[in-house]
Amino acid sequence: MHIEVRGLNKKFGDFQAVADVNFEIEKGQLIGLLGPSGGGKTSILRMLAGLETVDDGDIVFHGKRVNDLPPQERGIGFVFQNYALFKHMTVAENIAFGLEVKKWSKQKIKERVAELVDLTGLSGFEKRYPHQLSGGQRQRVAFARALAPEPQLLLLDEPFAAIDAKIRHELRSWLREMIDRLGITSIFVTHDQDEAIEVADQIMIINKGRLEQKGTPWEIYKNPESPFVASFIGESTIIEDVSALRGFGGSAEPGTKALIRPEYVEIGKASDFELLSATETGRVRHIHFRGSEWLVEVQIGAAKLVTYRSLEKEILQPGDEVRVLIHRAYLFNDTDSWVMENKLKEDPMPVHI
Ligand code: ATP
């Protein structure tokens, strides 16, 4: 289903929970609504579902305005984080529930339930009750139940939030695979950036009721359009005055703030760098083992930066003096943000985004 949302607004009392949100979603895409708690993600999802009224704006499914359609006529499936399965019904009965409401024939229901049990890997569990299932299995039943009436849009509100880390990981890949197979347009809410980056075709960053940015995970990571987005996606450090750093002074006004990501910071001994003039001198403060690499915190004057270091390189110790090359930074002031490369290293021109 193709979806278009125009000028969407929602107030709760005096509080503007959703403010002038506009977006379009192509058929078959998996979209992650990502943002801090209270930002308005669930409110957007509930308005799409018809579970919340719209104050202002249009919700258009397949070219048809659906603002006034009740939820059951919108062709959507809904999965919540807390399973919301019927406790007194078996797996098969839970999946069949929506089909019985829609008065499908007994034979068609039987076939559809078998198809979904197979699709969601629940064969052999048909006669179990929810309390006899693991969290991951229960969530699969919830998916199967939402998918049973052949919805055109699947809405998922933090579907993995209540599930432990390892299973959550498996469920994410499974969801991605299943949605690819079914080709169903899907929107899921999360505040876990790894989840959104790993699973979604496109991410929408929602903050204070506004859509800050929409794009593929890579586009958003590479070209954040606001300091909020830059600091929300990826690990990073904020520098209060980037003009004091080598390679950034001169082009940046004194007092310009910058956000620096670990992957754009390189540390080593003086002999490791060809362009020593582009590097700062720093001191290692902490070093953390992260399984596949070291995470190193390094102090340069008043600024503290974070970077990664390969396990194959010489191990650094807290207190070691190192050279630090900052390849690029996201600069920002109150109105604008842009990417700047270290000008002692390469292109001296700031790239505005
Ligand atoms: P979370 O990640 O914590 O679920 P969210 O981004 O989904 O947050 P929403 O649930 O959409 O955010 O809530 C947005 C804001 O609107 C919050 O400040 C919330 O308290 C408020 N809000 C939501 N529903 C109602 C309601 N029915 N009445 C009053 N305020 C509400």
Topology annotation, domain 235-345: OB fold (Dihydrolipoamide Acetyltransferase, E2P) (2.40.50)
Atom 25 in ligand 1: residue holding the nearest Cα = 12
Give the three-state DSSP class for 17: strand
Could you tell which of 9, 21, 37, 42 is best to mutate to test the pocket of ligand 1, judged by most ligand atoms within 8 Å of the CB? 42
What pLDDT, on the 0 to 100 scale, is given for residue 167? 82
Centre of ligand 1 to C-alpha 79, Å, is 18
State the closest ligand 1 atom to the C-alpha of 45, by its place in the atom list counted from 1. Answer: 11
* Cα 231 to ligand 1 centroid, rounded to whole Å: 22
Q: How far is the C-alpha of 25 from the C-alpha of 350, rounded, in Å?
A: 32
* Token digits of residue 5: 């949302």
Which atom of ligand 1 approaches the CA of 191 most closely?
2
Treating both helix axes as pointing N-terminal to C-terminal, what angle do 135-147 and 165-182 enclose, rounded to 10 degrees? 20
Which residues line the pocket of ligand 1, CB cutoff 6 A? 12, 17, 35, 37-43, 189, 191
User: Could you say which residues of the chain have pLDDT below 70?
Assistant: 83, 346-353
Question: How many angstroms separate the alpha carbon of residue 194 from the centre of ligand 1?
Answer: 22
Closest-CA residue, ligand 1 atom 31, reads 12
Beta-carbon-side half-sphere exposure of residue 224 (alpha carbons within 13 Å)? 22
Distance 6 CA to ligand 1 centre (A): 20
Residue 348 has a pLDDT of 41
Distance 90 CA to ligand 1 centre (A): 33
Distance CA 213, CA 240 (A): 24
Based on the number of CB atoms within 10 Å of its own CB, is 134 exposed (0-12), middle (13-18) or buried (19 or more)? exposed
pLDDT score for 83: 62
**Per-residue pLDDT tens for 171-216?**
888 888 888 888 999 999 998 888 898 899 999 999 999 999 999 9
What residue owns the CA closest to ligand 1's atom 17?
Answer: 38
Residue 328 and residue 343: Cα distance in Å, rounded?
A: 9
Question: Which atom of ligand 1 is nearest to 10's Cα?
Answer: 16
Using CA atoms, how far apart are residues 176 and 14, in angstroms rounded to an integer? Answer: 38
Q: Given the CA of residue 206, which atom of ligand 1 is nearest to it?
A: 6
- Distance CA(138)–CA(159), nearest Å, equals 11
Q: How far is the CA of 39 from the centre of ligand 1 (A)?
A: 7
Domain boundaries defined on the chain:
3-231, 235-345
CATH number for region 3-231: 3.40.50.300
Q: Nearest 5°: CA angle at 44, between 217 and 91?
A: 85
Q: Count other C-beta atoms under 10 Å from residue 146's C-beta.
A: 22
- What is the strand order of the sheet 257-260 is part of? 237-239, 257-260, 328-332, 337-341, 351-352
> For residue range 244-294, what is the model confidence (pLDDT) as tens digits?
888 887 777 877 888 898 988 999 988 888 888 889 999 999 999 988 899
